[in-house]
Each structure stands twice: as structure tokens, then as C-alpha cells.
A and B are shown apart, each in its own frame.
Chain A
Amino acid sequence: MKLNFLSLDFKVLMLLVGFLLIDFNCQSQAIVNTSKIRGNLKIDSTWNPIAYLSHIKSFNSMHTISNDMIITQTTIDSLGNFEFDTNFLSESDNLYRVHLSKKDNPPATLIIGGTEENHVFLIANNKSNIFITNSGENRLFNTDSIKGYKPNQYLYIIDEISNAIDSINFKSLKIKREFIKEGINENLRVIADTCTNSLVSLYALHKSQFFNNYSKNQTFYNNYLDKWKNEKSIYFQDFKNQLPAFKSNNYKFILIGIVCFILGFFINFFTKKKGISKKRMHSLSIQERKILRLMILGKSNKEISEECNIGVSTVKSHVSKIYSKLNIKSRKDVMKIDLELYNL
């Protein structure tokens, strides 16, 4: 009876473990299933009920539209719901753009600024769970449209800060205006320096007009690159390529390459002119070297045969061997050989 009781307990325990495992499996499935870019948009009848997802490979391409940037599309249902599968996205954070187009416009349409702005940027990876929504009032997307993956909130804070430059009423002294602009850019650099998400950090730096600031603040950029030295993303590579220091380094490499090429050309030219390598010269026999010496001195085959006490045909045979060993074609080339250089 006791044994039966124990075995019953064990069965219940096993069943519980089984349920837990199934539940855990379901939960992990649910986690996998929730990793999506989803949304609910209130759109009027002028918009096509299709949402497009584009991969933005560089911050400089944020204002670029092309058919090949669109990686996937999805239909927005009558209630405004839509979702993109994110399984095929990169494991690391990348920049994406969700856009809609008007009914009379082609799918690849980008409207920047104004009340009809048709897109929103977001940072995502293949595990991020993002929800896009809108208020349906004046604009298609609002500044707080993206919910779920935290780096996106910082992305919009950065946007709001940088857009302030164009919207602040600067009806004041020009110097004051420059001062405010510089203050905004300095704040963006502080965000870039303190942010833990590499892509958000780089975005802040991109918005801070680092081009104009690099020469004044090189230490900051060197320290920044040192901090993110393990970051191998396409965005960091692109950023490095834009920095004047890296550009000049590339320029230096090109210059060194050109100098080496010219040097190589001249070395090749002079060695050719001076003739033959010592290794080739050593491949000649004593008799061949003697005949070569006489050839250099301008002696004819007959004169060489008389001096060496050999027949003209033998001289001819030696000459052809010399030509082949030294890789030369005529007596003219022989005349160019320096006697002293080869101790002939």
C-alpha cells in the first residue's frame, strides 16, 4: 500500500514536471512568437493598407529610398493591425524603416517632413518585440509611435533634440544662435558618450554634426572609437570611413602604394637595363663565360673561334646556349652587359 502510495506520488510528481516542461516549452514558444514587429495604425482611405519594412545600412541612407531597400511587406487589416516576421533579421541591432505609401504613389515612396511624413525608423534585431501605433490625428506616425524595444525611445529623444535646431525661434543675435546650436550638438555628444547601446550612441554622434567638430575635438573621437573598438557593425565601419583621420589614413595607404609601384617599376627598369641576375650568370660554363666576354668586346663568331681554337659551328652552339641561359635575344642585348659588374 505504502509502495503504491509512493508510486502514485512519484507519478503525480512526474506529471507536474511534465506539465512544467510543457508550460516552459509553451512559454519559450510564446517568447519566440512575440519576437515580432507588430502594430496597429489608424489610417485614412488615402493610404494603401500595406506596410513596408526597409533595412537601412547606414545613417547616411536614412533619407534614401530605393526598391531594393525594402526587405518585406505586410498587409494592414481593416482594424489597422499588421505584423512583420523578424526571424530573418540580424542577431545584432540594425536600423530599419517602416513606411506606408499613398494610394496614388508607388510602394517605394518616402516623404520626409511635413504632415504627410510616411515613415518611422526603428532599431530591431531578430529577438526584439516591437509595437507601432499612432494617434490617427495629424500625422501617420508620432514621436512615441514605437513601443517595446527600449533603444527606440532614445532614438526619438535624439531626434527631438536635433530637430530643435530648426524649430527654435532664433530671433536674436547670430552668435547666440550659434551658441545654442553648439550646446545642442554638445548634448548629443554627451548622449553618445554615455549611451550603452552602440547603435543609439552612434546615432547621437551622427546627429551632432561630427564632421564640423572632429578637428576641434579629436581626443573625444579617439576615445570614443577606443571604447567601441570591439564593435564590428556596418554602422561603425561606415562611421570610421567618414572620419577625416581614417580618410587620410586611406589616402596615405594609396600614396604608399603608388610610391611602391613607381619604385618597383624603376627597379625593374634598371635591373633590366643592367641586364641579367648574377644567378643566371653563374649558370654559364667557363667556356661560355669566355665566349660571352669576347661577344661583349664586339668580336664576331669567326674571331671568337680563332681565339678559342674551336670551330665556328661550336661557337654558334655556345652562343645559342648563352642566349637561352641569360634569356636574351640578340647580340645587341649582349653588348649592354657590364663586364666589370660580372667579373667577366
Chain B
Amino acid sequence: MYKSTLTIICLIVFSSANLLFSQENDNILKHINISKQTKIEKVHVEVLEETIQFSFSISCNTRAGVIKVEIYNPKGEKVDEITVKNLVNKASLVENVNGQLNKKIKYPDKGIWVIKIIPNNSIASISISCNLKNESK
């Protein structure tokens, strides 16, 4: 009897704590294939007032050409960037060039963040993974 009461009390305490301090996660996954005809692409990510952490991982696998990925905050300031160049040399074997940008921003600026993909005569594949950790009210 005593054991079951204690279990119930523990369950109630843990579930209420979870309700009080719980965090919600929003995930955005996007895969983009770039061909030589592809023009600038933009991925918009909305950061809310309750977002406590914005993390993203951008992977770029380039077979030819140049790919530049820039990240802008809602103020329009460039926060980070990565450039992956595969300038195919006839003398060497064609090999891919990979770039990966991982970033974690605590208490990011609220608003629309922009991930801008600028290809230049390139053949590539890009994977974007964003995670927004929101504080539930």
C-alpha cells in the first residue's frame, strides 16, 4: 500500500515538473539538389520569442563549381558562411569537395533568419537541418 502511494506521488511530481519546465523542439529538414542552372535559393527559418536555442547544420557536397551558403539574422547581418569550391582540374581525378557548417546560437534574435545558397556553375547537393528549442509557456 505504502509502495504504490509513493509511486503515484513520484509520478505526479515528475509529470508536473515536466509540464512546468518542458521544452519543445521544432525541426526543419531540407534537401536541395543544385544543378548548373540553379539560381540563388533562400531558406527562411522563423525564430520565435520563446526560442532559447537555434542550432543548424548545413552540409554541402560539391561535384563541380562553387557553392556559398550565408546565414543572415533578422537584422540582415551576416552571421556565418561557408564556401565549398570544386574547381575541376583536368590533370587531377574528379573528386567531391565537402563542407559542413554547424552552429548553435543561444537566445537568438527573434524574427526570420535566412539561409542563402549562392551557386556558381555548380553541381551539388545540400542538406539543411535546423533545430529550434522553444521554451513552452
Contact of A169 among B100, B103, B106 (CB under 8 A): B106
The 5 closest A-B pairs by CB, nearest first: A114-B102, A66-B85, A113-B102, A64-B83, A170-B107
Query: When chains A and B are docked, how far (Å) is the Cα of A168 from the Cα of B83?
Result: 27
Q: Is A110 a contact partner of B106 (Cβ separation < 8 A)? A: no
Complex CA–CA separation, A73 to B99 (angstroms): 19
Q: Is A330 part of the contact surface with B, judged by Cβ < 8 Å?
A: no
Docked CA distance A312–B113 (Å): 87
Chain A residues in 8 Å Cβ range of B89? 67-68
| A65 contact set on B, CB distance < 8 A | 82-85, 97-99
Closest to A65 in B: B99
Known: A170-B107, A177-B107. A64 touches B85 (CB 8 A): yes
Bound-complex Cα distance A68 to B86 (A) = 9
Of the A-B pairs whose beta carbons lie under 8 Å apart in the complex, a sample of 6, sorted by A's number, is A65-B99, A108-B95, A110-B84, A116-B100, A168-B106, A169-B107
The verdict on A212 contacting chain B, using a C-beta distance below 8 Å, is yes
B: contact size bracket:
20 to 34
- B105 interface contact, C-beta 8 A: yes
* Contacting residues, chain A, for B80 (C-beta < 8 A): 63, 112
Minimum CB distance partner of B135 in chain A: A171
Q: Is A126 an interface residue (CB 8 A)?
A: no
Residue of B nearest to A170 (CB): B107
- Tell whether B18 is near chain A: CB-to-CB under 8 Å: no
User: By CB atoms of chain A within 10 A, which of B85, B98, B107 has the most?
Assistant: B98
Q: Does B24 contact A (CB under 8 A)?
A: no
When distances are taken between beta carbons in the complex, the residues of chain A under 8 Å from B86 are 66-67, 108
Contact between chains at A171 and B107 (CB < 8 Å): yes
Q: Does B48 contact A (CB under 8 A)?
A: no
Whether B106 lies near A167 (C-beta < 8 A) is yes
CB-nearest residue of chain A relative to B106? Answer: A169
Q: A64-B85, A67-B86 are in contact. List 13 more A-B contacts (CB 8 A).
A: A65-B82, A66-B87, A66-B97, A68-B87, A105-B98, A109-B97, A113-B103, A114-B57, A114-B102, A117-B102, A169-B107, A171-B52, A171-B107
- Does A108 lie within 8 Å of B97, measured CB to CB? yes
